[in-house]
Amino acid sequence: MRDLVFIAFLAVMFLLGSKRPFILILTYAYIDIVSPQRLTYYLLNSIPISLIAFVGAVGAWMVFDNKSDTRLSWRQGLLLLMLVYCGLTTIYADFPIDAARKWDWVWKALVFAIFLPLTLRTRLRIEALSLVMVLSASSIIINGGMKTALSGGGYGVLNLMGVENNSGLYEGSIISTVAICIIPMILFLAKHGTIFPPDWRVKAFAYALCLACLLIPVGTEARTGLICAAILGGLMFIHMKRKLLMGMLGALALVCALPFLPSSFTNRMDTISNYQGDESASTRLAVWMWTLDYVKTHPFGGGFDAYRGNSFHYQTVQRTVEPSGNIRIETINVVDKQRAYHSSYFEMLGEQGYAGFLLWLVINFGTMIQTERVRRRFRDTTDPAKAWIAPYALAMSQGHLIYMIGSFFVGIAFQPFVFMLIALQIGLATYARRLEADAGWQPILPTRPVAAAG
Amino acid sequence: MIDNFSLLLSHGLILVACWRLLSRPDLDDENPVDPRIAFFGRRPREREDA
């Protein structure tokens, strides 16, 4: 039954795309985020819907779209360089078969990120893509938020739509990071949206969705999510007008929410400061140290999934309270191997070496800096048609920064979602540049005032 | 039950959004500029009126 509903949905999207080709691009973004083929049992699994949507989107752009005002950005050049570089490291990878498997989806995400800004020529297109990204992610977030509110969730327990292999956005730490990073975008759309103009229904949905986003780190018990949420609170606080009032309301909301948090959540969050007794945190530190050593002998990285070559032993400290009241502290030796990086920064360093790591940093932080520049150029504009640009730029850079902070603890350097965020920001920057160029444009023959002519 | 609800709500909203895009000419072109305006600065007929 679910298969038929998804097929009907995609059929309608393709049909609408035949009327307006940009909708095919939205369809591809939707498929990349939701992965409907993973949610079904038989029919969709056998159809390459992602490929069909991609070919449709690129083909429609090449044939129908106006390309006269298309502008390229240096960051698209860097993404292209990253694509070639990753292709080369895949050829010389330590584990060629595993590397090829990751390369298989990474190149698509990179190509789409290079292509996407070419199509983002109008405000409505930028808004539409942002909206579809938020709504696509909401299919997982509403689900997780409701389940958390009703049952409390648990680390590795929260069942997101029955996807078992924990892949894509359906993994707890990844969806926690993404859920928090889209909150500024949700708030922007609720205030400045034109597809769903702001009214009480839009606002109610947006606030409920933000609540669901905040519940995701609670439900998945991913510590990354809690750190992201705290930083988002700080970032939003900086730009608030009534800081004292909002700060007090925020603190009050936090105090009121604490009793409702499941004890397993608070226990797990305690391990952020008490990481020595936590095997997962100790494993991370050991993998990170291994990566730093590895890259010294492999400056160009080991290709995708190079972590499979790691093996190490480390010690954790376990603290137990005995029935007599004594506290017993034990040092346990742990031997481990083939552990993933659990950090995008170390993922890039280990897999792509110093050069790839640097390139990745420049793409991400360069994009954020560029977006901040756009915000500063437009923040004092009096033109109502351009009033959306500064708040949008702020929402994007906040969301991207949250993602990059979450990336410290999750290996999500090549998630298609972040490349869409980057593409949206490139699209915004080129759009802003065009607006500024248009504002400075003069017709070849000067326009005389009508009264003077008469 | 929750799975179906979240899928229906999110997918329904995506469809409504895309449906609304059909009636928005500014999706593809924000300022449909007449090539004559681009060159002369105003429509030739306006110039005659003036």
Within the 19-38 window of chain B, which residues sit less than 8 Å (CB to CB) from chain A? 19-22, 24, 26-30, 37-38
Token representation of residue A269: 């969050």
Please name the residues in contact with A54: beta carbons below 8 A apart, sequence gap of 6 or more: A28, A108, A112
CA distance A152 to chain B (A): 14
Residue B38: list chain A partners with CB under 8 A.
443
A25: amino acid identity, one letter: I
ipTM given for this complex: 0.85
* Contact B17/A at CB under 8 A: yes
CB-nearest partner of B28 from A122, A131, A444: A122
CA–CA distance, A175 with A323 (Å, rounded to integer):
40
Residue numbers in A near B7 (CB within 8 A):
2, 5, 39, 139, 143, 161
Tokens 């409390």 belong to A152
How close A234 comes to chain B (CA, Å)?
Answer: 29
Residue in A123, A196, A445 nearest the CB of B30: A123
Say whether pTM exceeds 0.80. Answer: yes
Boundaries of domain holding B37: 2-49
The nearest alpha carbon in chain A to B29 belongs to: A122
Domain count of chain B? 1
Sequential DSSP letters for A293-343:
HHHHH-TT---TTGGGG-EEEEEEEEEEE-TTS-EEEEEEEEEEES---SS
Q: Tell me which chain B residues have a C-beta less than 8 angstroms from the C-beta of A150.
A: 2
**Chain A residues closer than 8 Å to B4 by CB:** 2
* Structure tokens belonging to residue A327: 């506290």
Q: Mind telling me how many Å the CA of B4 is from chain A's nearest CA? A: 9
> 3-class SS at A156?
coil
Q: Does B5 touch chain A (CB under 8 A)?
A: yes
pLDDT digits (tens, 9 = 90+) for A181-192: 999 999 999 999
Q: pLDDT tens-digit profile of A111-170?
A: 999 999 999 989 999 999 999 999 999 999 999 999 888 876 665 556 676 665 556 788
A139 and B6: CB-CB below 8 Å? yes
Cβ contact A177:A410 at 8 Å: yes
Q: How confident is the model at residue A453 (pLDDT cuts 50, 70, 90)?
A: very low
Q: Which two tokens stand for residue A206?
A: 């947006």
Please report which confidence band the pLDDT of residue B50 belongs to, taking 50, 70 and 90 as the band edges.
Answer: very low
The residues pairing with A282 across neighbouring beta strands, listed in sequence order, are none
Question: Exposed, middle or buried: residue A218 (CB in 10 Å: 0-12, 13-18, 19+)?
Answer: buried
CA distances from A178 to A30, A40, A50, A226, A351 (A): 15, 23, 21, 12, 23
DSSP characters over A32-87: HHH-HHHH-SSTGGGS-HHHHHHHHHHHHHHHHS--TT----HHHHHHHHHHHHHH
